[in-house]
Amino acid sequence: MKIGFIGLGIMGKPMASHLIKGGHTLFLHSRSGVPEALIALGGQACSSPSEVTKNSTVIITMLPDTPDVEAVLFGNYGVVQGLSADSTSPTKIVIDMSSISPIETKKFADKLSNYGCSYVDAPVSGGDIGAQNATLTIMVGAQESVFNEVKSLLALMGSTITLIGDIGSGQICKIANQIIVALTIEAVAEALLFVSKAGADPQKVRQALMGGFAASRVLEVHGNKMINRVFEPGFKIALQQKDLNIALSCASALGMSLPNTAVTQALYNACRAHEGNKWDNSALIRILEIMANHEIRPN
């Protein structure tokens, strides 16, 4: 297939590479420039989202935030400017794999439907490691018939692909994912900091906990990062904060409270106040360390 891919950062670059290796022709665009590695694999650089769209049947976006997706879809030289008004042209499909507002997602889908374009929201979980290994969990909101058209493409990027429901459902699922991930990161950070200040070896405690009911992927991966002070992203704190903002905004619109999400969000806000926008989200522990006047060190 002829596939457009817009957004080639930490996540998008390896995801696009899997599609090329899967035998598809890719038309690429990124505001930071198309990586040479993707060109070497056979990807074709485009000057704008509209140029990507003109050359592609399926257009995938992997962008930081809701306004970024809106600009790529509807801004100057955006996707809509590459869509044909010719009713005989094949229907194009936009797959947004960013993590954005489910409310705006539905609005974007409605607007694109006026151009005869189908829409899929398919946010992912698994981080940069999952993107590199093509083991992402992909949460999909779409009409079932459209989902069936693109499932084989998604399978080149992820190992667990679930149709949650109609458009917007994928983003709702991703919000739930981010609530669980963020609160678990905070819990692991508190536990390991407590262990360290109390005088036990945090690495040995982590190994012990991995064999019990407290075991989790967050304890395995992020716990190790915390102990060994590996805070290069990964998934940036700024993006984790953005996702929690979406969660809290949606909760407010639903007239409900997410109290622990709000507390964890405040800690991420504090990280950003300490110039931690680009830290890995496991670096949440740094703020707790400041509060405890103690820094974890591997024994």
Examine the pLDDT at 87 and tell me if it is beyond 70. Answer: no
* Residue 86 banded pLDDT, cuts 50, 70, 90: low
Band of pLDDT at residue 253, cut at 50, 70 and 90: very high
How far does CA 85 lie from the centroid of its chain?
Answer: 32
Task: Please confirm, yes or no, whether 174 is among the known catalytic residues.
Answer: yes
Mind listing the pLDDT tens digit for each residue in 68-84? Answer: 999 999 999 999 999 97
Domains of the chain: 2-167 (3.40.50.720), 172-292 (1.10.1040.10)
CA-nearest of 185, 179, 176, 160 to 261 is: 179
Where residue 280 falls among pLDDT bands split at 50, 70, 90?
very high
Contact 96/71 with Cβ under 8 angstroms?
no
Q: Is pLDDT of 88 > 60?
A: no
58 bridge partner residues: 3, 93
- Per residue in 24-66, pLDDT (tens digit) is 999 999 999 999 999 999 999 999 999 999 999 999 999 999 9
CA–CA separation, 125 and 139 (whole Å): 8
* Average pLDDT of the segment spanning 228-253: 93
pLDDT, position 53: 96
The answer to whether 138 and 122 are in contact (CB under 8 A) is yes
The residue among 76 and 298 whose pLDDT is bigger is: 76
216 to 99, 154, 264: CA distances (angstroms)? 22, 25, 18
> Residue type at 286?
R
Tokens matching residue 81: 């400017």
Beta strands in the chain (DSSP E): 2-6, 25-29, 44-45, 58-61, 93-96, 118-121, 124-125, 136-141, 158-165
DSSP state, residue 7 = -
Tokens for 144?
A: 């079932």
Rounded average pLDDT over 152-161? 98
Rounded-to-10 torsion of CA 165, 73, 100, 279? 140
Q: What pLDDT does 299 receive?
A: 73
Query: Could you tell me if 210 and 257 are in contact, meaning their C-beta atoms sit under 8 angstroms apart?
Result: no
Tell me: the pLDDT tens digits for 196-221? 999 999 999 999 999 999 999 999 99
CB burial readout 161-192, b (16+ within 10 A) else e? bebbeebbbbbbbbbebbbebbbbbbbbbebb
Instruction: Look at residue 297 in the predicted model and tell me its pLDDT.
Output: 82
Q: What is the mean pLDDT of residues 93-103?
A: 97
The pLDDT score that the predictor gives to residue 21 is: 97
pLDDT, position 76: 93
Is residue 233 very low, low, confident or very high in pLDDT (cuts 50, 70, 90)? confident
Annotated catalytic residue within 13, 92, 174, 225: 174
Residue 234 has pLDDT above 90, yes or no: no
Maximum Cα–Cα distance for the chain, whole Å? 71
pLDDT score of 89 more than 70:
no
Q: Classify residue 167 as left (phi > 0), alpha (psi -120 to 50) or beta.
A: beta
pLDDT score, position 235: 87
pLDDT of amino acid 69: 97
